[in-house]
Amino acid sequence: MELHGVGVGRGIAIGPILRMPDPLPEPVAGPHAGDPAAEYARVDKSLAVVAEELAAKGAKAGGEAQAVLEAASMMAQDPTLTDDVKARIESGTSGERAVFEAFASFQEQLTAMGGYLAERASDLADVSQRIIAHLRGVPAPGVPTSDAPFILVAPDLAPADTALLELDKVLALITRDGGPTSHTAILARSKSIVAIVGVTGALDLTDGTVVIADAATGVIATDPTPAAIAAAEARIAGRAAATKAPITDGVLADGTTIPLLANLGAPKDAEAAVALGAEGVGLLRTEFLFLDSPTAPTVAEQARQYIDLLQHFPGKKVVVRALDAGADKPLSFLNDAHEENPALGMRGLRALRANQQILADQLQALVIAQAATTADLWVMAPMVSDAEETTWFVDYGKKLGLKTVGVMAEVPSLAVVADQVAEVSDFVSIGTNDLTQYTLAADRMLGSVASYQDPWHPAVLRLVKMLGDAGAAAGKPVGVCGEAAADPKLAVVLVGLGCTTLSMAPAALADVRAELRTVTLKEAQARASRALAATTAAGARDSGSS
């Protein structure tokens, strides 16, 4: 039997299933002992303890996991939630039940809002479980322990669980929920854990069942044959050898250079990326400077962080994305107004143009960093729709003193007018996650439509080709900074479609580097042509993979 989901990365694992324990039972509705102040004091202590534990786990985990866990820690002491808990206790509800009801209510609100906020609802559920467990004096539900390695199966994984997995014991993750950009997927990718998410039927797997989890195909094979196990073991050995191979620059078999860059979430991630062979940075997400702050950071505060990052890449390209926030990642000082469909609302460049001082401060800080380092700084705007927006941003950035200014291609309309954009932009960087989402009209945060979130879809590939062709005609570079570049087979097709650089999570660099060396540019173009002619994502994957 085979189960199917969305694979994260290219890894493969063999092992027995072990399921995540069931969550704590729902607290029984009922009154507290009669003293609201004493009951809230007890709950307040648990809130503080859980917040401190999550922050400590984040500090231990580091990297992307730290930001995720710090956000979860903040949830435990969010004033909106704590006020709701207190009000419920004052009305006579027990502490456990008050926590359960308040967090459940907020979860429903986030789920209804969709997009990024809906994905955070599962994180909120984990925080609630931890608080209730502390109130009961029992361990919080979490990853099971085992003396032997296993493949973990769960409805979904909380950030705290994913961040601190014992990598010598957990061979792979299989989850019923989640999409390719859920926290489980993001953290699994950053830690090079084999993972398949959004698997229908995952919870029907029983403990002890041996499976092969193939992230490259998103397929889980149960009770595999000896031949299938031998083939999987050979692939595991091959991947291990590839990761130990000498690090070289990205190059095709015919000598065509394809620089391999890193997607980074903060300056502290730079050193590890360099160690894994990143030739520069294809995407620096600058939201880390803004998301946890009640006010926008100053020019000086931003400049220090940018300089810190750029110093790791002397003489190399570093592409910085202007603040990509808005209704799906609300900031009180940018745009926290409720929108019915935030994925199609005021985000990215749209929000920045409506709050131009925030953009001006960020670009001025980047100009300072540009002058203070030897890195080759490129700056791009997110969520750009057409040539008018491109012209505005490029002109504005250069007026402030930036040398190389470009745009991200995430909205299909930008690809349709790619020739116009290439005339005015210094470069284009394709964000395949959002480009796929908007092309297929499938929210990339929802597991229910995860099957549509496939960058192999011919419609997405045709938009990439339009961008690649326009860049080639104008002599302008066209890169990819979406996670599609982390798929080695798709990376070859992207090169064949005209992409000149590829940027990805650093953990994926070795696999992509090895795959590119197996093909010439002519062969990559032939694979791209076959993929373009397909009628489905699966067909494109099959015809474009060899």
Nearest to 129 by CA among 150, 93, 104: 104
Q: What is the DSSP string of 61-120?
A: H-HHHHHHHHHHHHHTT-HHHHHHHHHHHHTTB-HHHHHHHHHHHHHHHHHHH-HHHHHT
- Cα-based angle 503, 57, 206 (whole degrees, multiple of 5): 80
From residue 82, alpha-carbon distances to 99, 101, 113, 128, 136 in Å are 8, 12, 21, 12, 18
Distance between CA 151 and CA 422 in Å, rounded? 47
Q: How many residues does the chain have?
A: 546
Q: What is the DSSP string of 299-325?
A: HHHHHHHHHHHHTTSTTSEEEEEPP--
- Cα-based angle 534, 537, 542 (whole degrees, multiple of 5): 70
Residues 134, 183, 312, 457: which is the catalytic one?
A: 183
Task: Judge whether 381 and 392 are in contact, CB under 8 Å.
Answer: no
Task: Judge whether 410 and 383 are in contact, CB under 8 Å.
Answer: yes
Residues 32, 134, 481, 499: which is the catalytic one?
A: 481
Helical (H) or strand (E) element with 366: helix 356-372
Task: Judge whether 175 and 428 are in contact, CB under 8 Å.
Answer: no
Tokens representing residue 488 in the block: 């080695």
Distance between CA 282 and CA 64 in Å, rounded? 17
Q: Which residues contact 325 (CB under 8 A, 6 or more apart)?
A: 287, 290, 291, 331, 334, 335, 347, 348, 351
From residue 87, alpha-carbon distances to 40, 94, 97, 440 in Å are 10, 11, 12, 44
Note if 183 is an active site residue.
Answer: yes
CA dihedral 163, 164, 165, 168 (to 10 degrees): 120
Task: Judge whether 57 and 160 are in contact, CB under 8 Å.
Answer: yes
Distance between CA 202 and CA 197 in Å, rounded? 9
Distance between CA 93 and CA 25 in Å, rounded? 17
Q: What is the DSSP string of 415-463?
A: HHTHHHHHHH-S-EEE-HHHHHHHHHT--TT-GGGGGG--TTSHHHHHH
Nearest to 327 by CA among 319, 339, 317: 339
Distance between CA 305 and CA 475 in Å, rounded? 32
Distance between CA 494 and CA 263 in Å, rounded? 17
Q: How many C-beta neighbours within 10 Å does residue 391 have? A: 16
Distance between CA 104 and CA 95 in Å, rounded? 14
Q: Which residues contact 32 (CB under 8 A, 6 or more apart)?
A: 39, 89, 92, 93, 94, 95
Note if 481 is an active site residue.
Answer: yes
Catalytic center residues: 183, 481
